[in-house]
Amino acid sequence: MIDKDGVATIEMIKSKFPRKDVLTRPKAIIECYQDIPCNPCETSCPFDAIYIGNDINQIPRIDFDKCTGCSSCIAACPGLAIMVVMIKDGKAYFKIPYELLPLPQVGEKWQGVNRYGEVLAKPCTIENVMKTKKTDRTAIVTVSIEQPFLYEFVTIGRQL
């Protein structure tokens, strides 16, 4: 439970995802569950896909029809609460914020990690690493893993 251990339940996680057919295109998944005074996700989206509104404490809502998966919101979120997800050919692709060094390299196999910090049963593959002036010190790492880990994977652990 998020109030006790800070980890969202599977129902809460799934509530942030669109239907799987929508995920054939990249979509932002915003795992922001509590009322906090924060809105860089809303102001960073060039497509007005994220809505918080006048009450900055509101939980962000996303319009998946408007979201292009452009990834601009990922590095803008100070809580590292946003990733962009897509499914294709039995794999789930995640663009995640990553702020540790050294950065992973394309083609490497890394541990996949769940929201409890536990290592997943299957490794993931580093597909891309993007670091630009705009994303400052937050790299955007694209990772692929088998689709059954869609609701489990949240970040990478260490290189295998």
Enumerate binding residues for ligand SF4 (CB under 6 A): 28, 30, 32, 38-41, 44-45, 47, 49-50, 60, 62, 67-73, 77, 79, 81-82, 84
Give CA angle at 79 (109, 148), nearest 5°: 40
The least distance separating ligand SF4 from the CB of residue 24, rounded to whole angstroms, comes to 15
The least distance separating ligand SF4 from the CB of residue 45, rounded to whole angstroms, comes to 3
Tokens 């990834």 sit at which residue? 71
What is the three-class DSSP state of 144?
Answer: strand
Q: Which residues of 119-129 are buried (b: 16+ CB within 10 A; e: fewer)?
A: ebeebbbbeeb
What is the three-class DSSP state of 111?
Answer: strand
Residue among 30 and 120 whose Cβ is closer to ligand SF4? 30
What CA–CA distance (Å, rounded) separates 120 from 129? 21
Residue among 86 and 150 whose Cβ is closer to ligand SF4? 86
The least distance separating ligand SF4 from the CB of residue 69, rounded to whole angstroms, comes to 5
In DSSP terms, 144 is beta-bridged to 93, 125
The least distance separating ligand SF4 from the CB of residue 160, rounded to whole angstroms, comes to 29
Residue among 18 and 157 whose Cβ is closer to ligand SF4? 18
Residue among 78 and 148 whose Cβ is closer to ligand SF4? 78
3: part of which helix (H) or strand (E)?
Answer: helix 2-5
Residue among 80 and 129 whose Cβ is closer to ligand SF4? 80
158: part of which helix (H) or strand (E)?
Answer: strand 155-159
The least distance separating ligand SF4 from the CB of residue 58, rounded to whole angstroms, comes to 8
